[in-house]
Structure 1
Amino acid sequence: MVNPLLNAVNRMLMHEDFGKLLLRLAVGGLMLFHGLHKLFAGIDGISAMLIAKGIPGFIAYGVLAGEVVAPVLIILGILTRTSALIVAATMVVAWLMVAMGKTWMLDKTGAWAIESLVYFFVGALAIAFIGAGRFSVAGNSAWR
């Protein structure tokens, strides 16, 4: 009695391409908010952090690639796997720059202090492994 119900639910929800689109919209869309903030407010803070660590400040422009360009491409389904790897790499750099000391900490509400970094990192890796799916501006090409 339970098996037919489970099979019916599984058939009803078997839309892998739609699931891929939802994941792309969530990871790309939410990351884009972080990037737009930096695009409009400037990257001076990030540049200052880099300079303080002995790294040239112009490298801060890379955050725009990882938090604006790559998320837009992920949302559109263009160069999706490459863009997802760029977002994942951006999260590793963010962790190394500002959150490494928080790795084993909880925030004031009890959440993992680096929860959002990990979410974006793992979500981006998932997209890199599964690809864009059928719902992509790039259609059925290698650009997907």
Structure 2
Amino acid sequence: MVDNADLGKLILRITLGGLLLFHGISKLLNGVGFIVGQLASHGLPTVLAYGVYIGEIIAPLMVLLGYQTRIGALIIVFNMILAIALVHSHQLLSLSGNGGWALELQGFFLFTALAVFFMGPGKYKLKN
């Protein structure tokens, strides 16, 4: 049996950072208008919408590269809590059409980032 926790941590970091980065790139290419609307509907300053670039581009890159990984993971946790609270709270206890939790993707990002925060980057990382 192979026991390599550091390789497992790397795979987890690549998965979390890589998949979330696609969402950030989409927002970079298409703008954050939707988020501006969500913030405004909750009476929050719309300038906060630009924080999504930190949560979905900068933080995933930090996690992917293993640079200040715990900080990047914590930013992702915060980003996902805000996304769930502002956009998806009505789906918290819902199932999707195929029987899965309606918030599987958001839950994956949230709890995987939390796991990375507690585990750290492992040995395959940039030196910081």
Q: TM-score range by the shorter chain?
A: over 0.9
One-letter amino acid of the structure 2 residue matched with residue 40 of structure 1: L
| Distance of 1:65 and 1:49 partners within structure 2 | 18
Aligned residue pairs: how many?
128
Structure 2: state its 5+ residue gaps. none
| Distance of 1:23 and 1:56 partners within structure 2 | 34
One-letter amino acid of the structure 2 residue matched with residue 82 of structure 1: I
Structure 1: state its 5+ residue gaps. 1-8
Tell me which of the two structures has the higher relative contact order, counting C-alpha pairs closer than 8 angstroms and 6 or more residues apart: 2
User: Hey, which bits of structure 1, 4+ residues long, moved more than 3 A?
Assistant: none
Question: Quick check: 1:79 aligned with 2:68?
Answer: yes
| Equivalent residue, structure 2, for 1:112 | 101
| Equivalent residue, structure 1, for 2:10 | 21
| Equivalent residue, structure 2, for 1:42 | 31
Q: Which has the larger radius of gyration?
A: 1
What do residues 59-86 of structure 1 show as CA deviations (whole Å, max 9, x unaligned)? Answer: 0011110011000010000010011000
| Distance of 2:47 and 2:105 partners within structure 1 | 25
Identity of aligned residues (%): 39
CA drift of 1:52 comes to 1.6
Q: Over aligned residues, Cα RMSD in angstroms?
A: 0.8
Could you tell me the TM-score, scaled by structure 1's length? 0.86
| Distance of 1:38 and 1:137 partners within structure 2 | 27
1:92 to 56, 81, 84: 81
Could you tell me the TM-score, scaled by structure 2's length? 0.97
